[in-house]
Amino acid sequence: MQDDREVIAEVLAGNKEAYALIVNKYKGKIASILRRNLSPSLEVEDIVQEVFIKAYYSLPDYRPGHSFPAWLYRIAINRGIDELRKRKRTPAVTEMNMELQDECPVPLEEYLAKEKRHTLWQQLKRLDQSYRTILDLHYLQHLSYKEIGSKLSLSPDAVRMRLSYARKKLREQLEKQEKKGGAPL
């Protein structure tokens, strides 16, 4: 196998395909670093790709006298830190399966459905945690008012009221987003 510096020189000389050697050599280690710091999640593979894209465009800044793996790992660690900061700024939404059940045979319909899901997710993330929780329990976990009440120590009437208020808040946010030019639902 070629030395990293030789491969980097080839990439910088215009042989973009040579970069695949770097990716294949280090993708397992990068994924391991990110999993350790971010906890296992589906997003790790996407972040690994982002790290290699960032490294590719930053190759002209790499100084050959320094360790290439250390340089690459530093990019991965920094990207992991950025992800952790992003997660702290964005309140966690409980994992919800928001996939639409109907199939969209037309690409335009598929695109519009994806945009609607994305808009809905963005607006759900902006709701207070208490509203997200009650919407999740009712619509995604399909719990009754009584079951939700027992989980949250509320009466069924209080659950009904909070659920109504949560729907109202979500609706208001979606309408506000639509007025700003976002995807209508």
* Dihedral of the alpha carbons of 27, 29, 34, 35, in degrees to the nearest 10: 110
Q: How far apart are CA 6 and CA 64, in angstroms?
A: 10
Q: How far apart are CA 99 and CA 116, in angstroms?
A: 11
- Residue 52's pLDDT is 92
Report the half-sphere exposure of 57 (CA within 13 A, side-chain side). Answer: 5
- Residue 91's pLDDT is 57
- Residue 185's pLDDT is 52
- Residues of the chain with pLDDT > 70: what percent? 83
Average pLDDT, the chain: 80
- Residue 98's pLDDT is 45
pLDDT exceeds cutoff 70 at 147? yes
Mean pLDDT of 20-40: 84
Residues in contact with 47: Cβ distance below 8 Å, sequence separation at least 6, in sequence order = 34, 38, 79, 80, 83
DSSP for 82-131?
A: HHHHHHHHSPPPPP-----SS---SHHHHHHHHHHHHHHHHHHHHS-HHH
18-22, 81-85, 89-93, 150-154: least confidently modelled range: 89-93
pLDDT exceeds cutoff 60 at 105? no
- Residue 40's pLDDT is 60
Mean pLDDT of 149-164: 89
- For residue 42, the 8-state DSSP code is T
pTM more than 0.95:
no
Give the pLDDT band (50/70/90) at residue 135. confident
Bigger pLDDT: 96 vs 68: 68
pLDDT exceeds cutoff 50 at 94? no
Query: How many C-beta atoms lie closer than 10 Å to residue 90's C-beta?
Result: 11
Q: How far apart are CA 72 and CA 80, in angstroms?
A: 12
pLDDT (tens digit per residue) in 45-87: 888 999 999 999 999 988 888 889 889 988 988 888 888 887 7
